Amino acid sequence: MRSFVYDHPAQRVIFGIGSIERLADEVGRLGARRVLIVTTPAERRFADDAARRLGPLAIDVFAEAAMHVPIETARAARRRAAELNVDCCVAIGGGSTIGLGKAIALESPLPIVAVPTTYAGSEMTPIYGLTEGGVKKTGRDRRVLPVTVLYDPALTLSLPPQISGPSGMNALAHCVEALYAEDANPLITLAATEGIRALARSLPVVVRQPDNLDARSDAQYGAWLAGMVLGAVGMAIHHKLCHTLGGSFNLPHAEVHTVILPHATAFNRDAAPDAMRLIADALGAPDAAQGLYDLAVRIGAPISLEEIGMPLDGLDRAATLATTNPYYNPRPIDFAGVRQLLEDAYQGTRPINPAKAGSHV
């Protein structure tokens, strides 16, 4: 057994179909009297429903959250919270919405109650992101960690297959990298493998039958575990590459994760054999990287950088950016290796397992 340090954060999680009915009780439990509800324009209906449930506790709805938390939006939301003297923020929506809630909490003592409606996992992490002048900066701060998270799988029923699939692969990516994290620990390893199992079995059903509530519950259970592991341990080359591609080439977040994941996994294949075995077993596949690729194909998600808008002539710059600052990865980072990884991801080819080259696995 490896030595480890695990600083477990305190968070209250309520999980279950219909748990949105407990929103007012959960807000009341925090002693809050004046609640600001934040969301995106597209998820406004969720916020209006939350306001109805909160009754007089709901002071206002701020429905201007946007992808990557533009600083102007964060400032406007902070101003609104201060002007209205609110004492709690309910963030109901996907990662963009929860990111805005975090941006408010970063500069005020407001507790966040997060109600996620995608599988991104932000609600379980102390990581925040803010975009200023076209540059997204991220940081870690315990103040932004939602104090209460309410998972109601019924709220994900409207998530269309083309968003559900990549969003679930985004969650899977957190679990994959947690298994070879530098600061991995036994509890997080258990959560990550269980997260992969839950997502791998549920996502194909979710995209085929979007209104299957059992599969939706299973997927959100996997997403909860994925968010937990993302918040607990450090990520490596996969997340670094996705951050670079999303930030510098404006590629869609969940789709980038989907495309890069099999190739980042193949990149680390020989350097993290224990993690590879756990991933492959959890996927029920002979090879981790190929299993992830096959899952993406099966759920009809994008498999190449080309199809999600990456310019071919940007691959060199992306490889340079991703190899500039040294960071932990089980396999040492080198330009040639990362450039090849990006080339493979651009083409969308199925990763080869050299140990089994010539066979069909």
Six token digits for residue 211: 């209104």
97 binds ligand NAD (CB under 6 A): yes
**Using CB under 6 A, which of the segments 28-36, 159-167, 232-240, 292-300 binds ligand NAD?**
159-167
Q: Which of residues 172-231 bind ligand NAD (CB under 6 A)?
A: 230
95 binds ligand NAD (CB under 6 A): yes
Member of 39, 73, 117, 244 binding ligand NAD (CB under 6 A): 117
Task: Please tell me the distance from the alpha carbon of residue 301 to that of residue 162, in angstroms, as a whole number.
Answer: 7
Nearest approach in angstroms of CB 82 to ligand NAD is 23
233 binds ligand NAD (CB under 6 A): no
- Burial (CB < 10 A; 0-12, 13-18, 19+), residue 287, is buried
DSSP state at residue 313: G
Six token digits for residue 53: 């449930």
**Using CB under 6 A, which of the segments 95-103, 203-211, 314-322, 325-333 binds ligand NAD?**
95-103
260 in helix, strand or coil?
A: helix
Which of 265, 236, 267 minimizes the C-alpha distance to 339?
A: 267
CA distances 70 to 75, 77, 96, 97, Å, are 9, 11, 10, 11
Member of 19, 39, 73, 118 binding ligand NAD (CB under 6 A): 118
With respect to ligand NAD, which residue has the nearer C-beta, 68 or 75? 68
290 binds ligand NAD (CB under 6 A): no
Nearest approach in angstroms of CB 237 to ligand NAD is 17
Task: Please tell me the distance from the alpha carbon of residue 5 to that of residue 10, in angstroms, as a whole number.
Answer: 16
Q: Which phi and psi angles does 124 have, rounded to 5°? A: -100, 5
255 binds ligand NAD (CB under 6 A): no
44 binds ligand NAD (CB under 6 A): no
Residues that bind ligand NAD (rule: CB under 6 A) add up to a total of 29
DSSP state at residue 70: B
With respect to ligand NAD, which residue has the nearer C-beta, 170 or 265? 170
106 binds ligand NAD (CB under 6 A): no
Strands 127-132, 135-140: pairing is antiparallel
HSE-up of residue 64 (Cα within 13 Å, Cβ side): 13
Member of 101, 121, 146, 247 binding ligand NAD (CB under 6 A): 121
Asked if 33 and 9 touch (Cβ cutoff 8 Å), the reply is no
Per CB under 6 A, residues contacting ligand NAD are: 40, 42-43, 67-68, 93-97, 99, 117-118, 120-122, 125, 127-129, 155-156, 158-159, 163, 167, 230, 253-254
